[in-house]
Structures are given as structure tokens and as C-alpha cells.
Structure 1
């Protein structure tokens, strides 16, 4: 985005006169025009990955993990592209069980997100996605 620059001030060019020139005086120096106030930065919003809102499928609860009685919370760090697809998914906080972490990652990689916004423009962004595995 181009930043507007003020136009340089034009100085008056003296015209020849038939009258006697007055005694020389110090040239008047015009004060520089104030710089325009910087535009307020466009408001940026984070990506949204609410599973219910976007109808993203919940992760499969691995049968072995259920048989073992494993429960836990995985927090994933997701880089969401401007088109709403996840670019990278990493474990930010592990459940303590790799099987649950991997199941959460596999599901979120297939999700669709509402991308981050800068003003009205969709941009890449990061979001943390908590996934809970609880036996009923």
C-alpha cells in the first residue's frame, strides 16, 4: 500500500518589475506542511476454527485409547492460510498420549477455518485449537 506523501511546497518566483527594486530583505521561509497523520492500522482479527460453527468433524477417539481409559486435552497451534485451510498443525500442549495427539492433528488438518482478517482482507494467521478427549 502506497503511503501518501505531501506535495512539496512551491515557492513564488519573483517577476521583473520596472520600478526600482526595494532593499533586499531576508527571504521568507515557509513552514513545512505538517506530515499527514499516519492512517490507523487496519484492525486484525484472529482465525476462527470453531468446530460446531464450521461443521468441522470431531477427531476420532482411537479405540485403543478408549480401551485403556485414556483421556486428555491437546492444544494444537495451527497456521491458517488466507483461504481458510490449515497450512501447518503442531502440538503446542500434549495430552501426554501420542495416540491422542496424532488423532487430534489428523482431524484438524482436514478442518476449514474462517481466516484472520486485516480490515476486510483475509490474511494468514495463527490459532490455538484445544481438543478434549473424554470418555462418557
Structure 2
């Protein structure tokens, strides 16, 4: 019997109740992403998209109407990103990303977490545990 790959990723709190983790889109430098289970999609900035497109690591998929955290409905573009490396221990491929005009931070949303077998968040120490990073069982969620 083959065991599922398990990745434990350190979460950063920064003196708030909000968690961040280190991740890498495509071949870009590793950076901090907000972990947001209330967001339906991986959300990236226009600057991040430009870097991915320059390396031919993102392609346009479709446009959607998305409800933002402030309740506003906005038209956003969805791109397929070749790879997303979460914490250096879990690499996902062909991940849908919503591009948010004017955004200043990248967000890990539920579509990413649904691509793994299971996930859990623990405290003391703060960690995100992902099992079976190759499960790729994501379904589209239309809220941001």
C-alpha cells in the first residue's frame, strides 16, 4: 500500500489572527501568501501575472463574476498557472488563479486546498498540513 505524501508548512502570524505561508508561483521567487479559507480562488496581483506570462507559465482561461470580501461583485479573469509550490513541500500543477486588479498581496484560497487529499491547520506551532498533494480533486468555486 502506497502512503500519501504529507507536507507540513509553517504558518506565519505577524501578531494577528491572519496566517501567511511561503509559496512560489511558477519559477518566481518564493513570497508570502495570505491563507484565506473564505476565498474561493487563489488570487494573484496583476504584477504577479505579468511575471508568470513573461515566463510563459500562465494562460488565460475565462472571465467570471466574483463576489469580493467587501460584498462587491466584480468581473475578474481566471488564468491557469503551471505550478504552485506551497512551502517547498507540496507542488500543485495547473492551478486556477483569479487576477485581482489593484491587489497588493497574493491569497491562497479554497481551490488550492481542494487540490490536496486533506488539509488541517494546527496551532502551537502554527502549521498547515497537506496530505496527498497529487490528488488534484479541485472543483471551481465562484466566490473570492
TM-score by length of 1: 0.26
What is the TM-score of this pair, normalised by structure 2?
0.25
Q: For the pair shown, which has the larger CA radius of gyration, 1 or 2?
A: 1
Larger fraction in strand: 2
Determine which structure has the larger helix proportion and give its number. Answer: 1
